Amino acid sequence: MTDIADPVAWINVVLRDPATGKPFVLLPAEIAFLEHAFQLNPDGTAKYPELVFSAPKKSGKTGFAAILTLTATLLYGGNDSEAICAANDLEQTTARVFSAIRKIVLA
């Protein structure tokens, strides 16, 4: 059983890369971001309720946005949770990020 406070372990145990069917291979920067971003306050609330990750073009941001959204809503969101994905335009959010989330869920 994975520790709910460890988002990297949860991602490795639960989520699968739709292209390979295997656990995602997270970059060191992504792991560091996850470990820092999902810190909790003593009362159990999110220390950082709004998360922003940036990286260069063609670095896998869309896939990581999907992973981050699923982790935030499923692992930390509680009942009736919601997530907002912001992108440059609606097409980017729906055609890319939402599509990536859908593929991960189906995998």
**What's the domain count of the chain?**
1
In a domain, 75, yes or no: yes
| Cα separation values, 65 from 1, 20, 43, 59, Å | 25, 18, 27, 11
In this structure, is residue 2 part of a structural domain? no
Whole-prediction pTM: 0.86
CB 60, CB 54: distance < 8 Å: no
Q: Is 54 inside any structural domain?
A: yes
Q: How confident is the model at residue 77 (pLDDT cuts 50, 70, 90)?
A: confident
20 within domain boundaries: yes
- Please give the residue range of the domain that contains residue 45: 7-106
Q: Tell me whether residue 93 is in a domain.
A: yes
pLDDT for 2 beyond 70? no
| Tokens coding 47 | 């220390």
28 part of a folded domain: yes
Determine, yes or no, domain membership for 40: yes
HSE on the CB side for 85, CA within 13 Å?
Answer: 27
